[in-house]
Amino acid sequence: MNRQRLSLWWFVGTLVFALLSMLVPLPNVLEPFKPYWPALFLLYWSLESEDRVTLGLAFVIGLGADLLNGVVLGEQALRLCALVFIALRFRSRLRFFPMWQQTLAVLALLLNDRILLLIVRMLAGGMLPPASWWISPFVGAALWPFLFLLLDDLRMRLRIQ
Amino acid sequence: MARARDESSPLFAGNAAGTLRLIFYLALAMVLMVLDQRNGWLWRLRYGAAAVVEPVYRLAGLPAASVRTLSVAFADRQRLTEQNQRLREDLLLANAKLNRMSAVAEQNQHLKELLDTQHSLELNVQLAHVIDVDLGAYRYRLTLNLGARDGVKPGQPVIDAHGVMGQIKEVLPTTSVVMLVTDPAHAVPVVIERSGLRTVAYGSRDGGQLTLPNIPLAADVRVGDRLLTSGLGGRFPSGFPVGEITAVAPAVTGMFLMAQARPAADIDRSEDVLLLHDQAEPDGPPAPVKPMGPPRDLAPPAAEAPITPASKAGALPAATQLPTPATSGGVPR
C-alpha cells in the first residue's frame, strides 16, 4: 500500500517537475535549445506504465501547461493528446527498440509535435517562427536516452513500478 | 487507471475505442481553443487559478534568481569596486542633471500654471520587479510582481529608465503580464522628434525590433531619428522615448517608406520597471453633456409613481401624457 502510494507520488512529482522546468527561464542564447519537457516525461511514462497514462491524463496535463504558459487554452492539450496517442499505439514496438531506434522515434514524435503546433499557430493567425525554433526537438531527442536511463534507474532504486 | 487494464492485451488494445477517444479529445481541444480565442476565457480561468499559478511562477523563477545571487556572491572584489566607482560617477552625474532638471521643471510648472493647464510634470509611478518566467516560445511578454491587489490595471504603460517598454495586458491578483512594444500585435502612436511626423510603430516579426511600415514617401526620415510617444490614441502619455530609427527603405509595395527602429528601453535586460499611473487623455471627443431638463423640483411629485411600470418604449408617451393634469393643477400659469 505504502509502496503504491510512493509510486503514485513519484509519478505525479515527475510530471509536476516537467511542467516547472518548462517555465524555468534560460538565457536568451539557450532559449531555442530548451526541450519540451512535458512531452518527454509523458512519453517516458506512456512507455513504462501504460495503465497510468491515458489520453485524458495527457489532456489534463496539457490544460495545466496551457494555464501556466498563458497560451491559448487547449493548444498543448491537443499536442500532448496526439503525442500520447501515437506513443500508446506503438508502445509495444517502441519498448523493444534498441535505444538509438527509440531515440529516432522520439525525434519523429517531437518533430510531429512541432508541426502540429505550427499548424495551430498558423490557424490562429501567427507568423512563421525563425529557423532556430526547430532545434528544440533535436535537443529533446538527444536528451532522451539520458532521461530514460535516469528515470529507469531511479525507479529501480526506489523499487517502485 | 484500472480501466485500461480491463481491456484485452496491450498489443491490440481497443483500436476503435482509442481512436474514438482521440477524436473526442482533439475535438474538445479545438472547441476550447476557438472559445478561448473568441472570448478570452483563459484569463478568467487563470485569474481564478492564480492562487495556484503564482507560487509556481515564483518557484520556476528561483533558479534564475539563485544564479543571479550566486554571481553577486562570487563576483571578485576588483569588479565590485569598479562597478561601485562607476555607479558613484553615474550617481553624481545623475544628481547634477536632476538638479538642473528640477530647475527646468519648476520653470515649466510655472509657465504651465500661467497657461492655466492642470497637468503636473511629476510622474505618478510605481516600481515593479520582473519575475523571471518563460511564457512560451514567443518572448514578447514579461511577468511583473504587482497585480490587481497593488492597483495595477490593464492598459497601464510600462517604462524603464530609457523609454517605453510596453503596456499591461492582463492582471492577476498578485502578478501581471506586460505586452512588450516589440510584440507583433502591439502598436504605439509615435512622433519623430526631429521632423514632428506622426506615425505608428509596430512590433516587428523578427523580434526585438520595431517597424514603421507606413511613412509617406516624401517624408523626411533619417537613420538615427528618435521616436517619441505622440500621446494620440490615449494609451501612452506623450513625450516618452520609444526608439531610434536604424534603417529606412521603400516598402515592397512602393507606396510607403518602411523604417526599422531599435527600441529605446532595455527590453532584454530590465529587472525593474516603472508602471505609469496617470494615463494620457482618453481618446475621442469629450463625452457628450447630458441634456439638461428643467430642474427636478419643478416636476410634479405625483407623476413619479405611475411611470415605473411603463416599458422603455412606452416611457416617453407616458411621461408626456401624465404630467398634463398635474401641470394644469399644480402650476397655474
Residue B316: the pLDDT is 43
Q: What is the mean pLDDT of chain B?
A: 75
Q: Is A6 on the interface with B (CB under 8 A)?
A: no
* B18 to A89: CB separation less than 8 angstroms, yes or no: yes
| DSSP β-bridge partners for residue B42 | none
Helical packing angle, A99-123 and A75-89, nearest 10°? 150
Strongest mean pLDDT among A151-155, B136-140, B311-315: A151-155
Burial of A16 (0-12, 13-18, 19+ CB in 10 A): middle
Residue B321: the pLDDT is 42
Quick one: CA dihedral A70, A141, B59, B55, positive or negative?
A: positive
Q: CA B144 to CA B193: how far, in whole Å?
A: 30
Q: Is A8 on the interface with B (CB under 8 A)?
A: no
Which band of pLDDT confidence, cut at 50, 70 and 90, is reported for residue B293? low
- What's the CA angle centered on B51, arms B50 and B52, to 5 degrees? 85
Cell matching residue A91 = 508502445
| DSSP β-bridge partners for residue B272 | B129
Q: Which of B5, B9, B23, B32 to mutate to test the interface with A (most CBs of A within 10 A)?
A: B32
Residue A68: the pLDDT is 82
Asked whether residue A2 carries a pLDDT value surpassing 60, the answer given is yes
Residue A106: the pLDDT is 92
Residue A138: the pLDDT is 92
pLDDT tens digits along B70-98: 877 777 777 888 888 899 888 888 888 88
Q: Is B53 on the interface with A (CB under 8 A)?
A: yes
Range with the poorest average pLDDT among A21-25, A39-43, B50-54, B292-296: B292-296
Beta-strand runs (E) in chain B: 125-131, 141-144, 157-159, 164-171, 176-180, 187-192, 198-203, 210-216, 226-229, 241-250, 256-263, 272-276
Residue A92: list chain B partners with CB under 8 A. Answer: 10-11
Residue A144: the pLDDT is 92
Residue with cell 516525461: A41
Kindly report the backbone phi and psi dihedral angles of residue B131, in degrees, each rounded to the nearest multiple of 5, phi listed first: -85, 130
Q: What DSSP line would sit under chain A, residue for residue?
A: -HHHHHHHHHHHHHHHHHHHHHH----TTTGGG---HHHHHHHHHHHH-TTT--HHHHHHHHHHHHHHHTS-TTHHHHHHHHHHHHHHHTHHHHHTS-HHHHHHHHHHHHHHHHHHHHHHHHHTT--PPPGGGGHHHHHHHHHHHHHHHHHHHHHHHHT--
Going from the C-alpha of A3 to that of each of A157, B3, B22, B176, the distances in angstroms are 13, 21, 32, 42
Which band of pLDDT confidence, cut at 50, 70 and 90, is reported for residue A104? very high
Q: Is B183 on the interface with A (CB under 8 A)?
A: no
Residue B41: the pLDDT is 64
Asked whether residue B104 carries a pLDDT value surpassing 70, the answer given is yes
CA-nearest of B137, B16, B25 to A60 is B25
pLDDT tens digits along B232-289: 887 888 888 899 999 998 888 888 888 999 998 887 777 778 888 765 555 555 566 6
Residue B326: the pLDDT is 41
Residue B63: list chain A partners with CB under 8 A. Answer: 24
Q: Are A151 and A3 in contact (CB under 8 A)?
A: no
Q: Is A55 on the interface with B (CB under 8 A)?
A: yes
Give the number of C-alpha atoms closer than 13 A to the C-alpha of residue B277, restricted to the C-beta side: 11
Distance from CA of B298 to the nearest CA of A (A): 57
Residue B5: the pLDDT is 46
Q: Are B211 and B251 in contact (CB under 8 A)?
A: no
Distance from CA of B195 to the nearest CA of A (A): 33
Query: Which chain B residue has the Cα nearest residue A56?
Result: B25
Q: Is B39 on the interface with A (CB under 8 A)?
A: no
Q: CA A29 to CA B196: how far, in whole Å?
A: 38
pLDDT tens digits along A42-92: 999 988 887 888 888 899 999 888 888 777 788 889 999 999 999 888 888
Q: CA B190 to CA B199: how far, in whole Å?
A: 5
- What's the CA angle centered on B160, arms B200 and B107, to 5 degrees? 90
Residues with Cβ within 8 Å of residue B260, at least 6 apart in sequence: B204, B209, B210, B211, B212, B245, B246, B247, B248
Q: Is A119 on the interface with B (CB under 8 A)?
A: no
pLDDT tens digits along B194-237: 888 899 999 887 767 899 988 888 888 889 889 988 888 878 88
Asked whether residue A107 carries a pLDDT value surpassing 90, the answer given is yes
- Count of all residues that appear for chain B in the document: 333
Looking at residue B268, its amino acid is D
Asked whether residue A108 carries a pLDDT value surpassing 90, the answer given is yes
Indicate if ipTM > 0.90. Answer: no
